[in-house]
Amino acid sequence: MAHFTKATSIHDWFNQRLGIDTVNRVLATEYWIPKNINFLWAMGMILAVTFGLLLVSGIFLLMYYQPNIHTAFDSVNYTIMQQVDFGWLWRHIHAVSASVIFLIIYIHMFTGIYYGSYKNGREMIWISGMLLFVAFSAEAFSGYMLPWGQMSYWAGMVITNLFSLGGLHLNGLVEWIRGDYIPSQAFLDRFFMLHVLLIPLIIIALIGLHFGALRIPHVNNQDGEEIDFDVESKKYLAGDKANSKVIRFMNDFLSKDMAVVAIYLVFLFYLVFWNFGFAMDPINFDPANGLQTPRDIYPEWYFLWSYEMLRPFSTNFGLMTFAFAQGIMFLLPFLDRSKNAVAASRRGWFQVWFWLLLVDMIALSAMGKMPPSGIWYDIGFTAASLFIALWVALPIITIFEKKA
Amino acid sequence: MKNSSRRGFMGKAFGAVAAVGAVGSLYAMKKSWDPLPSVKAAGFTTIDLSDYKIANKMYVEGWRGKPIFVMKFTPEMIKKMEASDNKYKKNDIARNIVVDGEHFMVCIGLCTHLGCIPAYRPDKENFLCACHGGMYDFAGMVTKSPPPRGFDIPPFKVVGKTLVLGEEGPEYKKMLATGVTL
CB of B182 within 8 Å of a chain A CB? The answer is: yes
pLDDT at position A1: 67
Amino acid symbol at A103: L
User: pLDDT-derived band of residue B41, with 50, 70 and 90 as boundaries?
Assistant: confident
Contact: B64, A182; criterion CB under 8 Å: yes
Gap from A16 CA to chain B (nearest CA, Å): 35
User: pLDDT-derived band of residue B70, with 50, 70 and 90 as boundaries?
Assistant: confident
Contact: A291, B117; criterion CB under 8 Å: yes
DSSP bridge pairs for B106 = B70
Cα–Cα distance measured from residue A78 to residue A74, given in angstroms and rounded to the nearest whole number:
5
Cα–Cα distance measured from residue A190 to residue B67, given in angstroms and rounded to the nearest whole number:
24
Mean pLDDT over B111-115 rounds to 80
Contact: B146, A190; criterion CB under 8 Å: no
pLDDT at position A315: 77
pLDDT at position A288: 94
CB of B147 within 8 Å of a chain A CB? The answer is: yes
Contact: A186, B35; criterion CB under 8 Å: yes
Question: Does residue B1 surpass a pLDDT of 70?
Answer: no
Question: Of the candidates A157, A176, A377, which has its C-beta nearest B33's C-beta?
Answer: A176
- Identify which of A61, A91, A77 has the alpha carbon closest to the alpha carbon of residue A273: A91
CB of B122 within 8 Å of a chain A CB? The answer is: no
Mean pLDDT over B169-174 rounds to 81
User: pLDDT-derived band of residue B86, with 50, 70 and 90 as boundaries?
Assistant: low
- Identify which of A203, A179, A188, A200 has the alpha carbon closest to the alpha carbon of residue A65: A188
CB of A311 within 8 Å of a chain B CB? The answer is: yes
Gap from A294 CA to chain B (nearest CA, Å): 9
- Could you list the mean pLDDT of each consecutive 10-residue stretch along chain A, which spans 404 residues? 90 96 95 95 97 97 97 97 96 98 98 96 97 97 96 92 83 91 94 98 98 95 93 95 94 94 97 95 92 81 94 86 94 96 94 98 93 87 96 96 84
Going by C-beta distance under 8 Å and a sequence separation of 6 or more, which residues neighbour residue B128? B118, B119, B121, B134, B135
CB A313 within 8 A of CB A321: yes
CB of A316 within 8 Å of a chain B CB? The answer is: yes
Residues of A in contact with B35 (CB under 8 A): 175-176, 178-181, 186
Contact: A158, B148; criterion CB under 8 Å: no
The answer for A 138-157 residues in CB contact with B (under 8 A) is 154, 157
Residue pairs between chains A and B whose CB atoms are closer than 8 Å: 81
B100: part of which helix (H) or strand (E)? none
pLDDT at position A313: 86
Of the residues B39, B63, B68, B127, the best mutation for testing chain A's interface (the one with the most A CB atoms within 10 Å of its CB) is B39
Residues of A in contact with B60 (CB under 8 A): 291
User: pLDDT-derived band of residue B87, with 50, 70 and 90 as boundaries?
Assistant: low
Residues of B in contact with A178 (CB under 8 A): 35
The percent of residues in chain B predicted with pLDDT above 70, rounded, is 93
A20-297 maps to CATH 3.40.50.300 = no
CB of B33 within 8 Å of a chain A CB? The answer is: yes
Mean pLDDT check: name the lowest of A191-200, A375-384, B56-65, B79-88: B79-88
pLDDT at position B173: 81
What residues does each domain of chain A span?
20-297, 303-404
Contact: B147, A315; criterion CB under 8 Å: yes
pLDDT at position B88: 56
Contact: A175, B114; criterion CB under 8 Å: no
CB A367 within 8 A of CB A379: yes
pLDDT at position A373: 77
CB A190 within 8 A of CB A332: no
Gap from B8 CA to chain A (nearest CA, Å): 30
Residues of A in contact with B181 (CB under 8 A): none
CB A102 within 8 A of CB A136: yes
Mean pLDDT over B124-128 rounds to 83
CB of A103 within 8 Å of a chain B CB? The answer is: no
Contact: A186, B132; criterion CB under 8 Å: no
CB of B98 within 8 Å of a chain A CB? The answer is: no
* Residue of chain A whose alpha carbon sits nearest to that of B128: A295
A69: part of which helix (H) or strand (E)? none
CB of B19 within 8 Å of a chain A CB? The answer is: no
CB B35 within 8 A of CB A179: yes
Distances (CA, A) of B115 to A170, A171, A304, B67, B109: 14, 12, 18, 11, 9
Residues of B in contact with A182 (CB under 8 A): 64-66
CB of A289 within 8 Å of a chain B CB? The answer is: no
Check residue B129 and give left, alpha or beta (phi > 0: left; psi -120 to 50: alpha).
Answer: beta
Contact: A314, B132; criterion CB under 8 Å: no
Cα–Cα distance measured from residue A42 to residue A264, given in angstroms and rounded to the nearest whole number:
10
Question: Of the candidates B113, B116, B133, which has its C-beta nearest A373's C-beta?
Answer: B133
CB B96 within 8 A of CB B105: yes
User: pLDDT-derived band of residue B14, with 50, 70 and 90 as boundaries?
Assistant: very high
CB A283 within 8 A of CB A352: no
DSSP 3-state assignment of A343?
Answer: coil
Contact: A182, B66; criterion CB under 8 Å: yes
Cβ-count burial of A59 within 10 angstroms (0-12 exposed, 13-18 middle, 19+ buried)? exposed
pTM, full prediction:
0.87
Which of B51 and A115 is assigned the larger pLDDT? A115
Secondary-structure breakdown of chain B: helix, strand, coil percentages, each rounded to the nearest 5: 35, 25, 40
Question: Does residue B35 surpass a pLDDT of 70?
Answer: yes
Question: Does residue B2 surpass a pLDDT of 90?
Answer: no
CB A292 within 8 A of CB B66: no
